A and B are shown apart, each in its own frame.
Chain A
Amino acid sequence: SQTIHQWPATLVQPVGSPLSLECTVEGTSNPNLYWYRQAAGRGLQLLFYSVGIGQISSEVPQNLSASRPQDRQFILSSKKLLLSDSGFYLCAFSGTSGADEQFFGPGTRLTVL
């Protein structure tokens, strides 16, 4: 069966520190992968998506970057966190067609102090 994992579940980081959030998918090959953010009191926003290894599309200019070093691994990073990076980060995957249903990971709650 298909499963998606994210870690850590919660994270508290000081302003200016680096960030690395990891997402892995099991039970599927060549998935489309997505990073979303939900800021406090706001809706979900697509940050990055990837259709293959090394292929990353950025939706919103920001302090974050994404990488896909392996087919089923998606990493969200920052060199220096800002207060505004606080939020709930969700990874999701879908089949190779952009019109396939998306399935979401458990999320990482990031607080930047």
Chain B
Amino acid sequence: KNEVEQSPQNLTAQEGEFITINCSYSVGISALHWLQQHPGGGIVSLFMLSSGKKKHGRLIATINIQEKHSSLHITASHPRDSAVYICAPLDPQGGSEKLVFGKGTKLTVNP
């Protein structure tokens, strides 16, 4: 079973700060999702990546498959970035691939 660890569990930042959320997992994977869950519960997929780095606006995700580690960075954070960020590796299990979820990092960005 793939064990997924996210850190930190909670993060409070001031507007404009650079944010880093880390994710490590125990079993080799083919790809990994970063998800954003807003207070209402809705989930949005931010990235799916299998190597290197991806960038969407102020969000950057990196992954090192060999080291079993991924990071999500937010540059120039804004209060609207406040949400729970969830790391979800795509874990090969019994011939099919399924998402395994971290417990999430709750980010609060204060103005």
| B99-A46 in contact (CB<8A) | yes
- How many A-B pairs fall under 8 Å by CB? 47
Given known contacts A44-B86, A106-B42, A107-B43, is B97 in contact with A99 (CB within 8 Å)? yes
CA of A41 to CA of B42, assembled, Å: 15
Residue from B33, B41, B96 in contact with A102 in the complex, judged by beta carbons closer than 8 Å: B33
Size of the chain A interface, CB-CB below 8 angstroms: 21
The verdict on B64 contacting chain A, using a C-beta distance below 8 Å, is: no
Interface mask (B38-73 → A, CB under 8 Å = 1, otherwise 0): 000111110010000000000000000000000000
The verdict on B31 contacting chain A, using a C-beta distance below 8 Å, is: yes
The verdict on B30 contacting chain A, using a C-beta distance below 8 Å, is: yes
What is the CB-to-nearest-CB distance from A32 to chain B, in angstroms, rounded to a whole number?
9
| A104-B45 in contact (CB<8A) | yes
CA of A99 to CA of B99, assembled, Å: 9
The verdict on A27 contacting chain B, using a C-beta distance below 8 Å, is: no
Which residues of A are in contact with B by a Cβ distance under 8 Å? Answer: 34, 38, 42-46, 49, 57, 59, 88, 90, 98-99, 101-104, 106-107, 109
Which residues of B are in contact with A by a Cβ distance under 8 Å? Answer: 30-31, 33, 35, 41-45, 48, 86, 88, 90, 96-99, 101-104
Q: Considering the complex of A and B, which 9 residue pairs feature the smallest CB-CB distances, nearest first?
A: A98-B97, A101-B48, A104-B43, A44-B101, A43-B103, A43-B101, A107-B41, A88-B41, A98-B96
